[in-house]
A and B are shown apart, each in its own frame.
Chain A
């Protein structure tokens, strides 16, 4: 980024911060109250389910009803029915939706809400990449490309130097009157050199072979390993915002995780539960949320769905890119792992600290292990593993470590009862005083491959 731009931006941000700090001191309560009581329908500067609130107080005051507004907030119907307020009648006629009475708010509290609203300035949305999130995009390609060019150049220089050296020595030889052997080409001389210094040659050869062997093996080992994979998506959805900042539970959106093998990419109607009202995000403004509305066929101005001639919604499905991919021959069930009566595993055991990512991404083992050592991770019983995520080694490593509480549910109780009648097997399993998934068959091929 341009240095000047950065500087200007920083100045601007400081200014904004300064201004807002002065406001904040006045309307701190107001903000809290606004968010708790009004924000589900009202926006300070935009019409939502209810009208925008900035300047409303002024309007009532202009009409000479500055006192009545508190009655309106406490019980709109009563004020309207009393017939003493023109403003009340005007609002009533403007929209058929009746505002929920807010009888519990005191006059002061309402005042502080209006104070907050009137002082509200929309946050400045910085253009360009987010300041706090790393957007994972495949950028390393260009880097490696330059590396290759440099290596190529070096090789060229190396050969050129050899060539020049040869030419020079030939010139010297000619000057000194020695015969130049025309058969002694570059290759021949190289071979002679190699024969003379055979030990160095062998050493070099072994080193190169060893190096490329290890490199090849390592590369092959990474085939099919999708750690850190984060495909781009049609909507710049941020897990960090939703699951992190707002603390929305994973299974609110990925709700089939408990029922089905698929956790599922949320359907648009789940987004619309909130975004029917929330039309603007903190980072991209309306741009990204408009995409949801387009997909759902939602007209946010009319607050209604667009219908076609047959009465069906005009929908445009979203095409997402799947981040977590398993081969066809692997059967994996989310329900088996996360349902409280089955595995009861926290989502982060496999998906890592998703609350820190923006787009969906395959976590890395290191991240999960780091998370496991945090207080939260320990509380959730996250197990530390070594193999790369989404590989079979990782699956079975966990199956070997994860313990099953045989007394937990009716299902496992029955299994336990049966086991008790087979002393040989029972003792074998209980040798280390714990029962793992593996010991109940979690390492068997047909549990996952069919």
Chain B
């Protein structure tokens, strides 16, 4: 073994802080909530004597037995007129499209008896099955009972007829006086919506003699997360403000400067899938990914090389790259590590001209121009960058938005219609804009929001839009690719689709009822005029339309603008001053799973641990540990004491720091995150929704220990986290999400809920295996032992001392699962898994997993059946020196030596779920046989038999069993977080899975409801089960196809094949539990030279 690497879940484990040791040595990490049970009904306060107790007992026993004698009457209401295609008990799937101005994805919506309950990406759509957690959980937003039920006027319920009459009347008056009418929306990529808005503009705009529409009526597009820098740079460089389509599946070298293309940048749904193609070494090649960034993003975690830079250094980094590529040496002031990685990147780029990709997440057009130049020199245009097929996303023009906000503050606008954006929440000067809007009583103010949100409450009229699952729409995210959105449920409330509102106000159509087909007919007429006439596969329009609705998309251009032919990309010169100033602290705002805040009230999303930090239900400052020492005056001369001094906020409260940009201040807890660039502050956007008691959803606000909402000194609700948008700014007409910031330590302390230290696997670090691409390529045909060693144990059976494969030892008789019926198996590819978390949310909604809220997560009582273990890894300090001496090659950079391991660790993500062991330790300890083994290899959990001893959880080596502590659907502690406690949100429950009750153990069931369903399908069709009949929710939803599920006993199945691959191993093989899950070890394409990652220590432990 050449070199060892250590794996640790956080610095606490790495440095064995008392916090960590304490929690890891506890048999049960969770405290038993005796006080809470008692406090539930105030029993503690009562003086209950023994005799009273007996009376209570006797009465309750009698009452219980009396009650159980009476059969409850269960009502059942069948359809009056059953729709032909709905059979109660059988799910229907509809193709649709998700677009919210930030993310775009083609979807398949699972609907049961007319209720959408589950989503997955559509594999044959443009986004090839791409999903983000926000999209995956969006089905719950439909059932948010905070949604508006009908139009509002001055915050009072009114009728559609009233608002329509009054609005059109006032608009006509304004129009006659040549007043200023402004529509503010996020980027509209729907051809039909655009046509509806155009019709509105046409109606109210005055025209000059030649018929040109004057600028007094204007539609302004505003992207909450702005990409205006890219458009501006392309305008400067190529004369057209396009955003090209990027092809990560063709890129051999990827250099990203601060662009988190796997979770938020531009079109992560498509990019992450393309990227995963390049991360499966079996495809014959593997991309080399460099990431230069300040925050630890998902893309950074997946990168082969990650260097930490400040946001202000982005321009210098790209210029250094450009200079190196041109052969000019550059004198830069980067750290040695960054320099080394730059050098490595340049080498890689040079080797892969025409098949490389350099991207930047900066909104500074200068950075983007240099990036353009680099890609141009590398010949990437037309290869990995498709500038002919452009993205229509993010067409916002920041300077127009800034102008509008100035006008609003001045009171120059006569009518404002806000559609699908929330400027009062998300603009840097949102609060003052909000005051200006609500203060201007002369102005006609209309919001089309689904909620009475920050902007809507400033408006006079609110005309609530449908949820996207109730709407018809079409989208053209990429030029020439048009997809359709179809409703999967009737409108739940008295809402009206925004496009219909525009059509009604422009006199194009009459107001329809809740069953209105106005906009549907409008889309159809658009498609008839354009898309249908340009194809010749379908004879009749209905045929063409039905085919498109069924498919969810068409490749016929529907929009009036034909494909943007961005001519031949011309060479261009750079002429700007590249000098930048650096400040002590720099802020970098980013998007995490929560996105841009639209879904802050979605409890599934809030409870999803953030990919890197594993914090739930909160917003925080990420800061490098050394900065923490500095800011909070911790003496770092004694490393041990220093590390003990900072806290994750889980066991002990975290520090709180105050951030100040201009006049805006934000106080947030500090999360010490290894890998954060020094001197930078990371803050996630999208938190702090609903400030001022807005009705955006119960889960958007903090709850106390007993489930009531927390209130501040004024008695108003406290939102979850702080609003990071307050710290953004307009910079030269461009929205900027980074910049200098003042940071001040405070005396306050704050508790965070972080699952990082939960469920430790007791130091058995052999759980993860990884190697490098070069090493794998060299060895995978002959010498798999080199990177995927079989765990061996020592045997003295024959008197001698020999090493025997761990799998050969067996304490118990073998379960007959091989060749007997089915044996369900799963394989998870750690190499293409990027840790996005969609599997967790998919499992959550499929299996009715309860949401428990922050306080319970803090007590390690999170209920996720599937968790995403995030391991940091670094090269072992002691061995490093030794290794350096022996392996050092002249000219090779050895950056590993330069740093403290905690500063820039690499990351492995590992989805961890019940391994369905064939020798399951949980089964042997259950006193009531509530968990048993099936002849199909499943480790079955029988809730109705479980008495809650928790022995099984204690005996599980993977720590994947979850105890159901409370009656989550009734107990008041969960009233604001658990969707089951909401009449509307209850509709999202999967009727095929029981809602578990208090006192039972839960865990992954391998989606046994889907297994039974798949088997039944095969049985009914009188054929064997084949691949595709049965998938688990996680495998079904996984965008990157990392999870393979199937019948291992079927010799032609995919799972049978991959379980025998050279990368396959089983987690904790040495424990001898014989799981039915295989992992494919992770391969990185770098020169870490770490071939085998089973540490010596662990090997020794197994003796």
Interface residue from B69, B816, B1019 paired with A424 (Cβ < 8 Å): B816
- Whether A260 and B90, one on each chain, are in contact in the complex, defined by CB atoms closer than 8 angstroms, is yes
User: Does A449 reach chain B (CB closer than 8 Å)?
Assistant: yes
Say yes or no: A256-B89 contact (C-beta < 8 A), given A321-B75, A409-B1019, A411-B1022: yes
Of the candidate stretches B536-544, B864-872, B928-936, the one touching chain A is B928-936
User: Does B79 reach chain A (CB closer than 8 Å)?
Assistant: yes
Measured CB to CB, the closest approach of chain B to A290, in angstroms, equals 15
Measured CB to CB, the closest approach of chain A to B475, in angstroms, equals 29
User: Does B578 reach chain A (CB closer than 8 Å)?
Assistant: no
Q: A229, A268, A295: which has the most chain B beta carbons within 10 Å?
A: A268
- Whether B819 and A421, one on each chain, are in contact in the complex, defined by CB atoms closer than 8 angstroms, is yes
Say yes or no: A410-B78 contact (C-beta < 8 A), given A264-B88, A445-B942: no
Give CA–CA (A447, B1009) in the complex, Å.
9
| Smallest CB gap from B1018: residue in A | A411
User: Does B215 reach chain A (CB closer than 8 Å)?
Assistant: no
User: Does A97 reach chain B (CB closer than 8 Å)?
Assistant: no
User: Does A251 reach chain B (CB closer than 8 Å)?
Assistant: no
How many contacts A-B (CB < 8 Å)? 179
| Smallest CB gap from B816: residue in A | A425
Of the candidate stretches A123-131, A153-161, A202-210, A331-339, the one touching chain B is A331-339
Give CA–CA (A415, B940) in the complex, Å.
21
Give CA–CA (A295, B1005) in the complex, Å.
42
Scoring A residues 243 to 286 as 1 if CB is less than 8 Å from chain B, else 0, what string do you get? 00000000000001001111011111110000000000000000
Give CA–CA (A310, B510) in the complex, Å.
14
Per the 8 Å Cβ criterion, residues 61-114 of B in contact with A are 65, 68-69, 71-82, 87-90
- Whether A446 and B81, one on each chain, are in contact in the complex, defined by CB atoms closer than 8 angstroms, is no
By a CB distance below 8 angstroms, the chain A residues around B1020 are: 335, 339, 341-342
By a CB distance below 8 angstroms, the chain B residues around A313 are: 80-81
By a CB distance below 8 angstroms, the chain B residues around A295 are: 80
By a CB distance below 8 angstroms, the chain B residues around A329 are: 943-944, 994
User: Does A66 reach chain B (CB closer than 8 Å)?
Assistant: no
Measured CB to CB, the closest approach of chain B to A317, in angstroms, equals 5
Measured CB to CB, the closest approach of chain B to A417, in angstroms, equals 9
User: Does B664 reach chain A (CB closer than 8 Å)?
Assistant: no
Give CA–CA (A447, B81) in the complex, Å.
33
Measured CB to CB, the closest approach of chain B to A227, in angstroms, equals 11
User: Does B1038 reach chain A (CB closer than 8 Å)?
Assistant: no
Interface residue from B90, B945, B1024 paired with A445 (Cβ < 8 Å): B945
- Whether A321 and B941, one on each chain, are in contact in the complex, defined by CB atoms closer than 8 angstroms, is no
By a CB distance below 8 angstroms, the chain A residues around B1021 are: 341, 410
User: Does A440 reach chain B (CB closer than 8 Å)?
Assistant: yes
Say yes or no: A422-B81 contact (C-beta < 8 A), given A265-B76, A322-B75, A444-B932: no
- Whether B820 and A422, one on each chain, are in contact in the complex, defined by CB atoms closer than 8 angstroms, is yes
Q: A219, A262, A424: which has the most chain B beta carbons within 10 Å?
A: A262
User: Does A441 reach chain B (CB closer than 8 Å)?
Assistant: yes
Give CA–CA (A64, B625) in the complex, Å.
112
- Whether A267 and B78, one on each chain, are in contact in the complex, defined by CB atoms closer than 8 angstroms, is yes
User: Does B993 reach chain A (CB closer than 8 Å)?
Assistant: yes
User: Does B696 reach chain A (CB closer than 8 Å)?
Assistant: no
By a CB distance below 8 angstroms, the chain B residues around A312 are: 515
User: Does A231 reach chain B (CB closer than 8 Å)?
Assistant: yes
User: Does A418 reach chain B (CB closer than 8 Å)?
Assistant: yes
User: Does A107 reach chain B (CB closer than 8 Å)?
Assistant: no
- Whether A259 and B77, one on each chain, are in contact in the complex, defined by CB atoms closer than 8 angstroms, is no
User: Does B1049 reach chain A (CB closer than 8 Å)?
Assistant: yes
- Whether B78 and A446, one on each chain, are in contact in the complex, defined by CB atoms closer than 8 angstroms, is no
By a CB distance below 8 angstroms, the chain B residues around A222 are: 69
Give CA–CA (A83, B255) in the complex, Å.
92
Give CA–CA (A440, B930) in the complex, Å.
20
Interface residue from A229, A267, A424, A449 paired with B944 (Cβ < 8 Å): A449
User: Does B391 reach chain A (CB closer than 8 Å)?
Assistant: no
- Whether B816 and A422, one on each chain, are in contact in the complex, defined by CB atoms closer than 8 angstroms, is yes
Per the 8 Å Cβ criterion, residues 881-927 of B in contact with A are none
Interface residue from B87, B820, B992 paired with A419 (Cβ < 8 Å): B820
Task: Please classify how large the interface on chain B is, using the bins under 10, 10 to 19, 20 to 34, 35 or more.
Answer: 35 or more
Say yes or no: A315-B943 contact (C-beta < 8 A), given A411-B1024, A419-B819: no
- Whether B88 and A342, one on each chain, are in contact in the complex, defined by CB atoms closer than 8 angstroms, is no
By a CB distance below 8 angstroms, the chain A residues around B1022 are: 341, 409-411
Interface residue from B78, B513, B934, B1019 paired with A318 (Cβ < 8 Å): B78
Per the 8 Å Cβ criterion, residues 289-308 of A in contact with B are 295-297
- Whether B1012 and A331, one on each chain, are in contact in the complex, defined by CB atoms closer than 8 angstroms, is yes
Query: Main secondary structure on chain B at its contact with chain A?
Result: loop
| Smallest CB gap from B936: residue in A | A441
Measured CB to CB, the closest approach of chain B to A14, in angstroms, equals 43
Give CA–CA (A256, B89) in the complex, Å.
9
Q: How many residues on chain A are close to B (CB under 8 Å)? A: 65
Q: B68, B80, B932, B1009: which has the most chain A beta carbons within 10 Å?
A: B80
User: Does B821 reach chain A (CB closer than 8 Å)?
Assistant: yes
| Smallest CB gap from A327: residue in B | B944
- Whether B1019 and A339, one on each chain, are in contact in the complex, defined by CB atoms closer than 8 angstroms, is yes
Interface residue from A219, A229, A322, A333 paired with B76 (Cβ < 8 Å): A322
User: Does A223 reach chain B (CB closer than 8 Å)?
Assistant: yes
Give CA–CA (A445, B1019) in the complex, Å.
20
| Smallest CB gap from A444: residue in B | B934
Say yes or no: A321-B76 contact (C-beta < 8 A), given A256-B87, A445-B945: yes
Measured CB to CB, the closest approach of chain B to A392, in angstroms, equals 9
User: Does B431 reach chain A (CB closer than 8 Å)?
Assistant: no
Scoring A residues 372 to 413 as 1 if CB is less than 8 Å from chain B, else 0, what string do you get? 000000000000000000000000000000000000011101
User: Does B1023 reach chain A (CB closer than 8 Å)?
Assistant: yes
By a CB distance below 8 angstroms, the chain A residues around B820 are: 418-419, 422, 425
User: Does A133 reach chain B (CB closer than 8 Å)?
Assistant: no
Interface residue from A410, A422, A449 paired with B819 (Cβ < 8 Å): A422
Interface residue from B65, B76, B818, B941 paired with A446 (Cβ < 8 Å): B941
| Smallest CB gap from B1006: residue in A | A446
User: Does B563 reach chain A (CB closer than 8 Å)?
Assistant: no
Q: A270, A425, A445: which has the most chain B beta carbons within 10 Å?
A: A445
User: Does B1016 reach chain A (CB closer than 8 Å)?
Assistant: yes
Give CA–CA (A321, B73) in the complex, Å.
7
- Whether B68 and A450, one on each chain, are in contact in the complex, defined by CB atoms closer than 8 angstroms, is no
Q: A409, A410, A418: which has the most chain B beta carbons within 10 Å?
A: A418
User: Does B849 reach chain A (CB closer than 8 Å)?
Assistant: no
User: Does A316 reach chain B (CB closer than 8 Å)?
Assistant: yes
- Whether B73 and A231, one on each chain, are in contact in the complex, defined by CB atoms closer than 8 angstroms, is yes
- Whether A446 and B816, one on each chain, are in contact in the complex, defined by CB atoms closer than 8 angstroms, is no
- Whether A296 and B65, one on each chain, are in contact in the complex, defined by CB atoms closer than 8 angstroms, is no
By a CB distance below 8 angstroms, the chain A residues around B941 are: 446
Say yes or no: A223-B77 contact (C-beta < 8 A), given A259-B87, A329-B994: no
User: Does B661 reach chain A (CB closer than 8 Å)?
Assistant: no
Interface residue from B818, B938, B992, B1025 paired with A411 (Cβ < 8 Å): B1025
Give CA–CA (A358, B1021) in the complex, Å.
35
Measured CB to CB, the closest approach of chain A to B78, in angstroms, equals 4
User: Does B1068 reach chain A (CB closer than 8 Å)?
Assistant: no
Could you list 26 A-B pairs, sorted by A, with CB under 8 Å? Answer: A222-B69, A256-B87, A261-B89, A265-B76, A267-B80, A269-B82, A310-B513, A313-B81, A315-B80, A317-B77, A318-B78, A318-B80, A320-B78, A325-B71, A331-B1012, A336-B1012, A411-B1024, A418-B821, A441-B934, A444-B935, A444-B940, A446-B940, A447-B1012, A449-B940, A449-B943, A449-B944
Residues of A at under 8 Å CB distance from B?
219-220, 222-224, 226, 229, 231, 256, 259-262, 264-270, 295-297, 310, 312-313, 315-322, 325, 327-329, 331, 333, 335-336, 339, 341-342, 409-411, 413-415, 418-419, 421-422, 424-425, 440-441, 444-447, 449-450
Seed contacts A260-B90, A446-B1005; 13 additional CB < 8 Å A-B pairs: A268-B78, A268-B80, A269-B81, A310-B513, A319-B75, A320-B76, A341-B1019, A342-B1020, A409-B1023, A441-B935, A444-B935, A445-B932, A445-B945
Residues of B at under 8 Å CB distance from A?
65, 68-69, 71-82, 87-90, 513, 515, 816, 818-821, 930, 932, 934-936, 938, 940-945, 992-995, 1005, 1008-1009, 1012, 1015-1016, 1018-1025, 1049
